Amino acid sequence: MKKIIISGGGTGGHIYPAVAIANELKAIDSTNEILFVGAEGKMEMEKVPKAGYKIIGLPIAGINRSNMLANLGLPIKLIKSLWKTYRVIKDFKPDVAIGVGGYASGPTLIMANFLGVPTLIQEQNSFAGVTNKFVAKKAQKICVAYPNMEQFFPKEKIVMTGNPVRKDILETASKREQAFKHFGLDPERKTLLVIGGSQGARTINEAIFAGLNDLISNDLQVIWQTGKLFIDKAKQAVESLQTQRVFVSDFIYEMDLAYAAADLVVSRAGALSVSELCLAEKPSILVPLPTAAEDHQTQNAMSLVNVKAAWLVKDAEARDILVDDVIKLADNKAEMQQLSQNIKTLAKPNAGKEIASEVLKIINGQ
């Protein structure tokens, strides 16, 4: 039995890989004991227990850039978090600590290093986060999903593993018929999937809302995930068009079926979304979130665009050109095939297993 701490979170893009790594470690040896450390009030405190793991919350928070006065308490929160992590590590006695990015991983890996516990970092993005850059100096291994990460991390520590994603996305080809039944759409018609992350993406939503009629008149049908804030407006638009060719929902749980039905995809360029698109082999138009830290979504998108594996539309231009670009791509069969072939070469289907293997190598002193 090995004891492993996994720390980080804040967004689904951090939490899902963390849970996937935990699942792989359990699959290798069911006696492995795993403890998560997250940030109080963040989504990991709900999602991790749902996945069947214990989690301890730290009173840590990020920098509030819109209200600098709110940051006055940050040093106290950091000290409290370090002290709590010290007690957790002393009690749990882990063989290794894994950081996946997010507020909680900083104090956890700092204290693990202080107490002589070996550490591994999993960096999901093509542009490394502040926390991971800081704790990388003492990490034994750094698992990455993109090339050229030696600009952020020591080259000898980097292992190219990719990002762990949901296993059901690997088996979409056999689910096409089931997918069209589920969404109530026509299997003979080209299908556009629109996803903006779990919260939705306002710019993408507004562009699709304005161009819905054009998409329909160009013989496309749409699966549209809007997020909670836009769902009512989207439903009204679909009702007023009186069409059966748009499936709209605030959140799609059956993403394997959504990818199975899709011929092309419009998406933000979060690390996890990009990894899923590679595995699903879908021609994609990426609209990076411009406010993402260090503009990392644009960096993620460009890693595909530079090898002709996706198209990019800037957020500021999406309302004007996104729908036109969707129609243009849908009409170009050769370009869609090219994008699909190129994105497929970037897929890393065994990422979770490879990261778990690196974790065990550290524990075994390899």
For 11-30, write each residue's pLDDT tens digit: 777 888 999 999 999 999 99
pLDDT at 353 over 80: yes
Mark out the alpha helices in the chain (DSSP H runs).
Answer: 12-28, 44-50, 74-92, 105-114, 130-135, 176-183, 202-217, 231-241, 255-261, 271-280, 296-305, 315-330, 333-344, 351-363
Q: What would the two tokens of residue 69 be?
A: 């006065």
Q: What angle do CA 233, 237, 241 make, to 5 degrees?
A: 170
Closest CA to 264 of 221, 209, 304: 221
* The amino acid at 126: S
- For the purposes of burial, counting CB atoms within 10 Å of the CB of 139, is it exposed (0-12), middle (13-18) or buried (19 or more)? buried
> What is the average pLDDT across 110-135?
92
Strands 264-267 and 284-286, by their bridges, are parallel
Confidence grade of residue 351 (pLDDT, cut at 50, 70, 90): very high
Structural domains of the chain in order of their starting residue, each with its CATH number: 3-163+349-363 (3.40.50.2000), 168-344 (3.40.50.2000)
Query: Is-contact 2 32, C-beta < 8 A?
Result: yes
- pLDDT tens, 65-83? 667 777 677 889 889 999 9
Q: What would the two tokens of residue 329 be?
A: 């791509």
> What is the average pLDDT across 300-306?
95
* The amino acid at 141: K
- What was the pLDDT predicted at 319? 96
- pLDDT tens, 335-346? 999 999 999 999
List the end-to-end C-alpha distance of the chain, in Å, as a whole number: 17
Residue 34 CB contacts under 8 Å (≥ 6 apart), including other chains: 4, 5, 6, 22, 25, 26, 53
pLDDT at 198 over 70: no
* The amino acid at 60: I
| DSSP letters spanning 167-182 | GGGGG-GGGHHHHHHH
Query: Is-contact 143 120, C-beta < 8 A?
Result: yes
- What was the pLDDT predicted at 332? 98
Numbered residues of the known binding site for UDP-N-acetyl-alpha-D-glucosamine: 11-13, 125, 166, 198, 252, 271-276, 297
- pLDDT tens, 85-104? 999 999 999 999 999 988 89
Residue percentage of the chain with pLDDT more than 90 = 76
- What was the pLDDT predicted at 200? 67
Confidence grade of residue 197 (pLDDT, cut at 50, 70, 90): low
- What was the pLDDT predicted at 53? 97
Strand partners, 37: 7, 56
Residue whose token pair is 């830290």: 293
Average pLDDT of the chain is: 92
Query: Is-contact 204 287, C-beta < 8 A?
Result: yes
pLDDT at 176 over 80: yes
- What was the pLDDT predicted at 83? 97
Cα 111 versus chain centre, distance: 26
* The amino acid at 48: V
Strand partners, 193: 223, 265
Strand partners, 65: none
Residue predicted with more confidence, 37 or 67? 37
* The amino acid at 94: P
Q: What would the two tokens of residue 321 be?
A: 């050109």
- What was the pLDDT predicted at 7? 96
Residue 347: what are its φ and ψ, rounded to 5°? -70, 145
> What is the average pLDDT across 91-118?
95
- pLDDT tens, 243-293? 889 999 998 989 999 999 999 999 999 988 999 999 999 999 999 999 887
> What is the average pLDDT across 109-114?
97
Numbered residues of the known binding site: 11-13, 125, 166, 198, 252, 271-276, 297
Q: What angle do CA 108, 57, 201 make, to 5 degrees?
A: 95
